[in-house]
Structure 1
Amino acid sequence: MSDIQEQIQAEVEQARAVCDISGSNSAECAAAWDAVEELQAEASHQRQQKPKTSLEKYCDDNPEAVECRVYDE
């Protein structure tokens, strides 16, 4: 999770630099802040995902195990 936070911080710094150079009303400035918003949305989405249970992790590693069989009814 800290990796995405580092990316967000880097994009914020980039957006500020772009806006300083091209002006706060420029298309480049708007695009730079859009990139920041997209990363923030992804970080929020990652926080909302519930962690896998130990059974789910086990089944990911051992899909052929009896405990992991899925029956269609």
Structure 2
Amino acid sequence: MSDIQEQIQKERESAREVCSVEGASSGECAAAWDTVEELSAEAAHQKQKTPEKSSLEKYCDDNPDALECRVYED
């Protein structure tokens, strides 16, 4: 995930540079910020894919033999 954050940062810097050279209302500026927006959306999408474990799940990962972590089959 840090790779996409680094890419977002690079594209953000690039967009600022393009907008300062070409002007804030130029097509190049808009396209550069569109790229930043698309990468940000992808980062958010990837974050949603991996839900965090609950505190009980984390505890059971560390302590599989604990009473709270027993699983009974019917």
Q: TM-score, normalised by structure 1?
A: 0.68
RMSD: 0.9
Runs of 4+ in 1 over 2 A off after TM superposition: none
Decide which structure has the larger Cα Rg and report it: 2
How far apart are 1:50 and its partner, in Å?
Answer: 2.8
Pairing 1:52-63 to 2, within 5 Å after superposition = none
Instruction: Determine the C-alpha separation between the residues in 2 that align with 1:2 and 1:33.
Output: 20
Q: Give unpaired runs (5+ residues) of structure 1.
A: 52-73
Counterpart of 1:5? 5
Identity rate of aligned residues, in percent? 69
Instruction: Determine the C-alpha separation between the residues in 2 that align with 1:32 and 1:6.
Output: 16
Deviations 1:43-73 (A, max 9, x none): 000000036xxxxxxxxxxxxxxxxxxxxxx
Q: Does structure 1 residue 34 correspond to structure 2 residue 50?
A: no
How far apart are 1:14 and its partner, in Å?
Answer: 0.2
Q: Name the amino acid aligned to 2:40.
A: Q
Secondary structure in structure 2 of the residue aligned to 1:41: helix
Counterpart of 1:15? 15
Q: Give unpaired runs (5+ residues) of structure 2.
A: 52-74
Secondary structure in structure 2 of the residue aligned to 1:24: coil
